[in-house]
């Protein structure tokens, strides 16, 4: 049995009901980055019900629905922590699992029955969001919502292209549509056209290997959100941006190539982002609850997790696995 650290006066303990499955869980469980500390307990899209609170906790009470995303601690005093942008902590935030916390303990994630988290890093789950749908928003959702709002993509009338139609990509489509943007899905796979247009409601679908379609779309986009994790060349996509356009990197390929000339000819920019702080998470959850935005998921028992990780590594999921932790405990 694996235990969490000793509870403190500002800690919230909650019973996990659901946990989303991120590609990071594949990387860590298989030690693909070379630093996994076994035994590891993955899972950083965690949702549950509060069972106990420390004596100094003021924001939550027993029975509340809460969750936490990819981090569970930070320095709490740098300029970014003071703005509740803890994911950008200058001393480095403490990841939800397989990280060394400030007390020396190793953090454990959501593929378990309980979480113990300082109240600062918990967020309240709105009643309008089903728990199984809330979890993926805490990673796949915030990773696109945060930079989209920060860079003005939520202003009505923008034209936004989205590369990759996975966990974050399909939520980017939903957010962009809700912001009043004209949405174009850019894909290497023609088979995703019906899903992109008919199910997710994108306005245009372009097969990026189709030279004619790409030429027609040249200089038509204000923004491109790149969620693809495989190595690729950016030049064909930069050609789709208007003058002053921006390409936002969300995926994590090992290498990207582009010609600098394709940036300074047209005043284009490439920016990156990873996750969001607790303030943005709360804003996003309220926004999703008020606008009916939720991920498309496959709900699975924990007993299926190894198969789910195999499928995820092969991009075989529509669009996010979510583990039914509570339901799994009642299975034979």
pLDDT tens for the chain, 332 residues long, are 677 888 999 999 999 999 999 999 999 999 999 999 999 999 999 999 999 999 999 999 999 999 999 999 999 999 999 999 999 999 999 999 999 999 999 999 999 999 999 999 999 999 999 999 999 999 999 999 999 999 999 999 999 999 999 999 999 999 999 999 999 999 999 999 999 999 999 999 999 999 999 999 999 999 999 999 889 999 999 999 999 999 999 998 989 999 999 999 999 999 999 999 999 999 999 999 999 999 999 999 999 999 999 999 999 999 999 999 999 987 75
Q: Percentages helix, strand, coil for the chain, rounded to the nearest 5?
A: 30, 25, 45
What is the C-alpha separation between 52 and 33, in angstroms, rounded?
35
- Whole-model pTM: value is 0.96
Instruction: Quote the crossing angle between the two packed helices 278-291 and 142-150, to the nearest 10°.
Output: 100
Task: Report how far residue 8's alpha carbon sits from residue 105's, in angstroms, rounded to the nearest whole number.
Answer: 13
Q: β-strand 46-53 against 11-20: which pairing, if any?
A: antiparallel
pLDDT number for residue 330: 79
Question: What's residue 329's pLDDT?
Answer: 86
d(CA 12, CA 116): 6
DSSP state of 146: H
Tokens 């939903």, located at residue: 174
Report pLDDT for 110: 98
């Amino acid at each position: 049995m694996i235990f969490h650290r000793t509870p403190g006066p500002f800690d919230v303990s909650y019973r996990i009901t659901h946990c989303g499955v991120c590609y990071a869980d594949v990387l860590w469980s298989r030690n693909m980055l070379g630093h996994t500390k076994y035994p590891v307990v993955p899972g950083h899209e965690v949702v549950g019900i509060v069972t106990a609170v420390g004596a100094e906790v003021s924001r939550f009470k027993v029975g509340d629905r809460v969750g936490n995303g990819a981090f569970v601690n930070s320095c709490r005093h740098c300029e970014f922590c003071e703005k509740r942008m803890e994911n950008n902590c200058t001393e480095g935030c403490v990841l939800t699992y397989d990280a060394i916390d400030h007390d020396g303990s190793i953090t454990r994630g959501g593929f378990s029955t309980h979480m113990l988290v300082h109240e600062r890093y918990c967020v309240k789950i709105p009643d309008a969001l089903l728990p199984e749908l809330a979890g993926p928003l805490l990673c796949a959702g915030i990773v696109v919502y945060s930079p989209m709002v920060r860079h003005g993509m939520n202003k009505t009338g923008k034209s936004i292209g989205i590369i990759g139609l996975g966990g974050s990509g399909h939520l980017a489509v939903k957010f962009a549509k809700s912001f009043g943007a004209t949405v174009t899905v850019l894909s290497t796979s023609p088979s995703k056209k019906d899903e992109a247009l008919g199910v997710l409601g994108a306005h245009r679908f372009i097969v990026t290997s189709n030279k004619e379609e790409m030429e027609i779309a040249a200089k038509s986009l204000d923004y491109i959100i790149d969620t693809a994790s495989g190595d690729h060349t950016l030049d064909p996509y930069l050609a789709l941006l208007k003058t002053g356009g921006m390409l936002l990197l969300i995926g994590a390929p090992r290498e990207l190539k582009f010609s600098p000339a394709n940036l300074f000819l047209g005043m284009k920019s490439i920016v990156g982002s990873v996750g969001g702080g607790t303030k943005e998470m709360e804003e996003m959850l309220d926004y999703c609850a008020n606008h009916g935005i939720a991920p498309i998921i496959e709900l699975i028992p924990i007993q299926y997790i190894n198969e789910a990780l195999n499928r995820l590594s092969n991009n075989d999921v529509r669009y996010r696995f979510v583990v039914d932790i509570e339901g799994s405990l009642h299975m034979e």
